[in-house]
Chain A
Amino acid sequence: MSIIDIPKEQDLVEYRVDRILEEANTDTRIVVLARQDAALDTFPIWVGAAEGHAIKLALDTMITPRPMSHDLIKSFAEHLNITLQRVVITDVKSSTYYATVYVSNKGIERTIDARPSDAISLALRAPCPIYITQDVLKRRSTTNLDAWLAKLDSKPIGTPEVQET
């Protein structure tokens, strides 16, 4: 939400949304990101059911009869001439991913803190590229495993919406 500190290009790896999986045990969805270049790598992010649905609608380019929340954000941006530049998964702390949405208007760039689910939903609708920082990529593998196990152990940890990102 402040004037920014753009990560260097080489620190970012571009991903695309590959698919959305249903997690049978918990009421969550897994957003599977895949590397945009040829390298074989997938990056799963657990999100709540509603968040997963919002991403799926965009992925399937479904037009809903009424604008959904992320369509409204896009509509705000269009009305105010704000461009969504890119979204970046910037951090992971205790199995929670953090994202930043880069927006610009008349050359003024700003960043907004977001949950990855909102960031990805918006990126698909904008459309704009999705990046993950090298730092997050390095630190993820065990984190994912931890998250997976934690979620298997204790089903009702509270609302998936908050727990998610």
Chain B
Amino acid sequence: MITQMQVKGLMFDPSNNAYIVVLRDEEHSEMLPIWVGKSEAGAISMALENVTPPRPMTHDFMKSLLDVYDAKVISVVITDLSEHTYFAKIHLMYEDSEYTVDARPSDALAIALRSNAPIFANDSVITKQSSDELQQWLENLKPEDFGKLDS
């Protein structure tokens, strides 16, 4: 089973100098935090805030490559979590055929947000990640904490 998720925000995690992308399902009953690096977070935040950079960033280029040949991102799925690494797949449609491409979640999210494609997570991933402590910490965060990326 897969659940559709929305990117709810991006936070800085000072404990390991990384960023956390927070995904939630529509009923807000599930939460999936994904740790990403700084430049990956930048690529996601630009799409979240609808910023058009003066020069195409890597994922803008990626989108252009698909656009020039009329290929579409149908959906992206966070498929697995193993040893603290998340795995994702990007589903493409091109000339009536579907293609599945293996990707890091950060790239999958960055391209999904630029293509307005839905984001899904395997239920097994959502269950696996739920360390209660983390859940609590995230739930105690105030909405203001889900601010913009300040760097």
Contact = CB atoms under 8 A, between A and B. Distances in A.
B69 A112 contact: no
B50 interface: no
Interface in A48-94: 48, 50, 54, 65-70, 72-73, 75-77, 79-80, 82
A164 B55 CA distance: 9
Contacts of A28: none
B10 to A, nearest CB: 15
Contacts of A75: 101-103
B16 interface: no
- Classify chain B: how many residues form its interface, as a range: 20 to 34
B102 to A, nearest CB: 6
A115 interface: yes
B68 interface: yes
Contacts of A16: none
Interface residues of A, number: 35
Q: Is the interface of A mostly helix, strand, loop or mixed?
A: mixed
Contacts of A66: 85, 87, 104
A110 interface: yes
B62 A72 contact: yes
A98 B56 CA distance: 10
A96 interface: yes
A72 B137 CA distance: 33
B102 A80 contact: no
A110 B69 contact: yes
B101 A79 contact: yes
Given A67-B102, A76-B101, A112 B68 contact: yes
B94 interface: yes
B65 interface: yes
Given A67-B104, A112-B65, A79 B99 contact: yes
3 smallest beta-carbon distances between A and B, as pairs: A50-B39, A110-B68, A79-B99
11 contacts: A66-B104, A67-B103, A69-B58, A76-B66, A79-B101, A80-B99, A110-B68, A112-B65, A113-B56, A115-B61, A162-B53
Interface of B: 38-39, 42-43, 53-59, 61-62, 64-69, 71, 85, 87, 90, 92, 94, 99, 101-104, 107, 151
